[in-house]
Structures are given as structure tokens and as C-alpha cells.
Chains A and B, each alone.
Chain A
Amino acid sequence: QKEVEQNSGPLSVPEGAIASLNCTYSDRGSQSFFWYRQYSGKSPELIMFIYSNGDKEDGRFTAQLNKASQYVSLLIRDSQPSDSATYLCAVTNSGYALNFGKGTSLLVTP
């Protein structure tokens, strides 16, 4: 069973702070890594993807990948109340279906 693990939260951060979301995975053959954001009752939407070790930045979001440690994270800088959602980590051995974690609930308090 290929596992993708996330802390369910909720993770509570004050407005303007950095939110750090973490994900570990068990399949060493994994090559593609995704972060999706999902508001309650809505469909997941892609925030970031990363394929190579290191950091990838897009606006307020930074994805970090460490394949040796089988660890991927998402940092959200200057967190806003509108960032309050569930964040899903997804992993795949390229060409196969995504394997999703159970998600981390983030609450940004004004």
C-alpha cells in the first residue's frame, strides 16, 4: 500500500503569518508531487506542483521537496483568511493515477 501521510490539523495561524504544511510518502519511485486546495464542499484546485528536489516558489506559495527524506511541504507566506481550506498532498509515479493524502485543514484567524 503506497501511503501519503498528512497531519489532519486543524493548523491554526494568525493572519500575516507563515503556514507550513507537511506531507510524507512511502513510494520511493514517486516522481511528481502536487498540492491541491479544497474549500468545504468544493472540488480540489491545483496550487503547486514540483518534480525536482529543492524549492519552487509561486507568489505567496513555496513547495519544498526532499526525495531522500520522502518529504514534501507547502509554505504559505502572509497567510490570509481566504487561505482557510483543506490542503491535499498528492503523489504519483509519473504516468499513474495520483495518490492523495487525507488533507490538512488550515485556519487563518484575523
Chain B
Amino acid sequence: DADVTQTPRNRITKTGKRIMLECSQTKGHDRMYWYRQDPGLGLRLIYYSFDVKDINKGEISDGYSVSRQAQAKFSLSLESAIPNQTALYFCATSDLSSGSDEQFFGPGTRLTVL
């Protein structure tokens, strides 16, 4: 089984709908991240969480919210989806206790907002 999973893998929705993307990990890592990737723009950080009670905004948090339900689960919500939120979304994890900032990525969710 994959260490970092994302659901759904693909989603097509309409403008104005509420969407939740979910991320789960079995790596036991304390830190979790949400990124979006657009062609030519690289990976941009939306939100990150260093533990269950610690949530931080990233570079492009407007229009998004997150919930860290447990150490292993980190969800990203689009309260009212708009077409420019069409992108590939990645969840990632890292482990503070490892002494490394290496991040491990999930398989991604391709979201299309019509």
C-alpha cells in the first residue's frame, strides 16, 4: 500500500461547488502539506501543518481551507470552487524527528472546475 494516499484521484466539478480533497499517510510523519501545480508555475504551497494543532497558510491560501483531523489525515477544502482552481493538487509529508526536511508526495488529485 502507498504511504501517502489522496482521494479522489480525479474530480470534475462546477463553479460554486464545495470540494474536499483528502490526504492520508501511514508513514507516521508529523508534518503535512498541500501544494497545487499549474503548468509552468511549479509547486506552490497552499497550507501546511506541523502537528495536529498547528496550521499555517502558505503562499496561495486564498480560496482554500484545511483541516488536520488526526496526525495521519489532512484535508483541503475549496468552499466555492472557481475555474482558476483547476490544477493538480499534491499532498506531502515530512518527519521532523528524522532531521531531514525531505518531503514525500502523494499521487496527486487532478481537479477540474468548469
Interface string of B26-69 (1 = CB under 8 A from A): 00000001010000111111001000000010100000000000
Let me know if B102 and A97 touch, CB within 8 A.
Answer: no
Chain A, interface residues (CB within 8 Å), range: 20 to 34
- Known contacts A42-B108, A103-B42; is-contact A98 B103 (Cβ 8 Å): yes
Among residues of B, the one whose C-beta sits closest to the C-beta of A6 is B42
A46 contacts B by Cβ under 8 Å? yes
Let me know if B102 and A49 touch, CB within 8 A.
Answer: yes
A55 contacts B by Cβ under 8 Å? no
Closest Cβ of chain A to B84, distance in Å, is 18
Query: Chain B residues with Cβ under 8 A from A8's Cβ?
Result: 40
Partner of A95, one of B40, B101, B106: B101
Query: Chain A residues with Cβ under 8 A from B40's Cβ?
Result: 8, 102
Among residues of A, the one whose C-beta sits closest to the C-beta of B105 is A43
Tell me the A residues contacting B by CB distance below 8 Å. Answer: 8, 32, 34, 41-46, 49, 88, 90, 92, 94-103
